[in-house]
Amino acid sequence: MNDFSELIRTVLIYALPVIFAITLHEAAHGFAAKYFGDTTAFSQGRVSLNPLVHIDPFGTIIIPAVLYVATGGAFLFGYAKPVPINFSRLKNPKRDMAWVALAGPGANFVMAFFWLLFGVVLQAANIEEIFFIKMANAGVLTNLVMLAFNLFPIPPLDGGRILVSLLPNKLAYKFAQIEPYGFFIVMGLVMIHWLQFWLLPVMMLSNFILKLLITPFALLLGIPV
């Protein structure tokens, strides 16, 4: 019974951060694509802040639930329904692909900053409700994980698309050919615990930058940093 109560508490703490992280990440791709000339996602109603639009029943609900139960919470993975983007409709497809891809992780970085700011405000207001403190921490962690994971340089992840955009045309074409196998490559790296050698440094660097950005706000509120 205690284990079940702890599970429910954890789900409630992470629910809002995860919903925001997934929804705004995907919506950011759609907004960026529209800005650079592709209205595919916009015309299909996918440029939306409604989380139901972005939830994939299998990837967002079933896979994480099964993995949580099967591994006792030691390993989790999930994904949202990708926003449809027709890169050929962008004003400058090869260049703009990088900006569209970067928009998702960029949204996660901004959200991580606001969750961190939320934690600072709680501290400044002497609010010691552990639920909200844990939610603020969960918001930062969730978005840093999403940012780092999606920046891994293998297509179809955002980092892979950014790399394709930056490589010379001939190399970019060859590298893009691995996209159908990208998901399996990443899952293999996750299972053998090699992906952490990418995730941890990127998360640490992102967290360092966040701390630098939050310092003026913390000092203004009288919170030591």
Six-digit token string for 172: 């970019």
Concatenated DSSP letters of 188-216: HHHHTT-THHHHHHHHHHHHHHHHHHHHH
Does residue 26 carry a catalytic annotation?
yes
Q: How far apart are CA 21 and CA 67, in angstroms?
A: 20
Q: How far apart are the first and last CA of the chain?
A: 39
Contact 154, 160 (CB under 8 A): yes
The answer on pLDDT for 225 being more than 70 is no
* pLDDT per position as a tens digit, 54-98: 877 777 777 666 666 655 555 556 677 888 899 899 999 999 999
Annotated catalytic residue within 6, 26, 129, 179: 26
User: Tokens 């896979």, residue?
Assistant: 63
Cα of 163 vs its chain's centroid, Å: 18
Largest CA distance in the chain: 59
Q: How far apart are CA 136 and CA 146, in angstroms?
A: 16
User: Which among 110, 109, 90, 111 has a CA at the least distance from the CA of 100?
Assistant: 90
User: Tokens 């994971």, residue?
Assistant: 149
User: Which among 195, 186, 189 has a CA at the least distance from the CA of 156?
Assistant: 186
Q: What is the pLDDT of residue 128?
A: 85
Kindly state the helix (H) or strand (E) to which residue 144 belongs, with its residue range. helix 130-150
Six-digit token string for 74: 């030691």
* pLDDT per position as a tens digit, 114-159: 999 999 999 999 988 899 999 999 999 989 988 999 999 999 999 9
Q: What is the pLDDT of residue 68?
A: 60
Lowest mean pLDDT among 1-5, 19-23, 104-108, 218-222: 1-5
pTM: 0.91
User: Which among 133, 183, 136 has a CA at the least distance from the CA of 156?
Assistant: 183
User: Which among 141, 145, 136 has a CA at the least distance from the CA of 117?
Assistant: 136
If you average pLDDT over every residue of the chain, what do you get? 87
